Amino acid sequence: MTRASVVFVALVALALLSNWVADILTPQPAISRPERHTPDFFLTSVQLRAMDENGVLQHRMSAARIVHYSDDDSSELLEPRFYAIGDQGPLWEVRSDQGSSDADGKVVMLRGAVTMTQLGAANGVLQTRDLLLRPRENYVETAARVTFQDGTSHIEATGLRGNLGEGGSLQLLAKVRGVHAPANH
């Protein structure tokens, strides 16, 4: 082996060794792992009352259990109940087996079967699925099939939106069919 070859091999080995040492000594960037959607706390038997600026009750919400997730600040609800309140007391009760809420509670999604009961003299019952609820506005909306039953009427439709507050109304969106029988006097 010639002297030039030995020098060349030594320089290549030295370059590889210095590169390896530099890699070892250079701090590696931390591998970012996405946050998991794991609960950070839960509550049981929760009652919430929302008041207006004058201290007048606007609505009530309750849930058997709330599980909070820190990654997106959302919450899962078990047996959520919502009560729209008017001047004379509760107007509607809205309930389902499960639901979820966004970070600030402005939007609640009630999943699965949903029952809305009109309280007071009317006593109508509305059945649907997958209802979007905006509690602060008493607003509800669904694209699912809707059935409404009271003492003398039976109505079916696809889709619903409206306001459950005092003086509010519900709008049936499509394929509306109904039967109304006169009340017996």
pLDDT for 72-103, tens place per residue?
Answer: 888 999 999 999 888 877 888 999 999 999 98
C-alpha 6/C-alpha 33 separation (Å) is 47
83-97 burial by CB neighbour count: b if 16+ within 10 A, else e? bbbbeeebbbbbbbe
Q: Which residues contact 89 (CB under 8 A, 6 or more apart)?
A: 119, 120
What domains does the chain contain, in order, with CATH numbers?
Answer: 39-180 (2.60.450.10)
List, for residues 9-49, the tens digit of each pLDDT value: 666 676 666 776 677 777 767 666 666 778 788 889 999 99
Q: How far apart are the first and last CA of the chain?
A: 120
Q: How far is CA 96 from CA 78, 93, 167, in A?
A: 8, 10, 24
pTM for the model stands at 0.74
Strand partners, 43: 66
C-alpha 170/C-alpha 167 separation (Å) is 10
Q: Which of 126, 99, 93, 122 minimizes the C-alpha distance to 112? A: 99
Residue 1, token pair as written in the block:
């082996």
Residue 138, token pair as written in the block:
């008493």
Mean pLDDT of 100-117: 92
Q: Looking at residue 17, what is its pLDDT?
A: 66
